[in-house]
């Protein structure tokens, strides 16, 4: 890994850890599936994030996985760059906020 990629990896990892801390989470050492995220599972047989109908790898690029801060924390978030972003930019998507987010 050259110096630029090493620096990028280090900064991305620190940003992920800072993001996790802001939310009371931790960066997961292991991937998990969208199904596990929906159920809030700690572990399970379907920890393949890119498998199954809810884990289409076309939805994710460079995903990061987050869990509750406890040692065996539940899965709480997958943060990713949209894989097919060029196609998605052609379709306007309305963004809605919860009332408490607007306060």
Q: Which residues partner with 72 through β-bridges? A: none
pTM: 0.67
Q: Residue 42 is encoded by which pair of tokens?
A: 């700690």
DSSP for the chain? --HHHHHHHHHHHHHHHHHHHHTTEEE-SS---HHHHHHT-SS-S---TT-STT--GGGEEEEEEEEESSTTPPEEEEEEEETTHHHHHTS-------HHHH-
pLDDT greater than 70 at residue 63: yes
Asked whether the predicted pLDDT for residue 54 surpasses 60, the reply is: no
Tens digit of pLDDT for each residue in 11-38? 989 999 999 999 999 998 888 888 888 8
pLDDT at residue 17 in the model? 92
More confident residue, 66 or 47: 66
Output the pLDDT for position 39: 82
pLDDT(87) > 60: no
Question: Both tokens of residue 34?
Answer: 């969208």
């Amino acid at each position: 890994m050259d110096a630029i990629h090493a620096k990028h990896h280090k900064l991305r990892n620190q940003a992920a850890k800072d993001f996790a801390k802001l939310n009371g989470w931790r960066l997961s050492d292991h991937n998990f599936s969208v199904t596990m995220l929906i159920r809030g599972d700690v572990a399970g047989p379907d920890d393949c994030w890119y498998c199954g109908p809810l884990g289409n790898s076309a939805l994710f690029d460079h995903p990061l996985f987050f869990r509750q801060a406890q040692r065996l924390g539940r899965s709480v978030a997958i943060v990713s760059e949209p894989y097919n972003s060029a196609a998605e930019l052609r379709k306007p998507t309305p963004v809605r906020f919860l009332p408490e987010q607007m306060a």
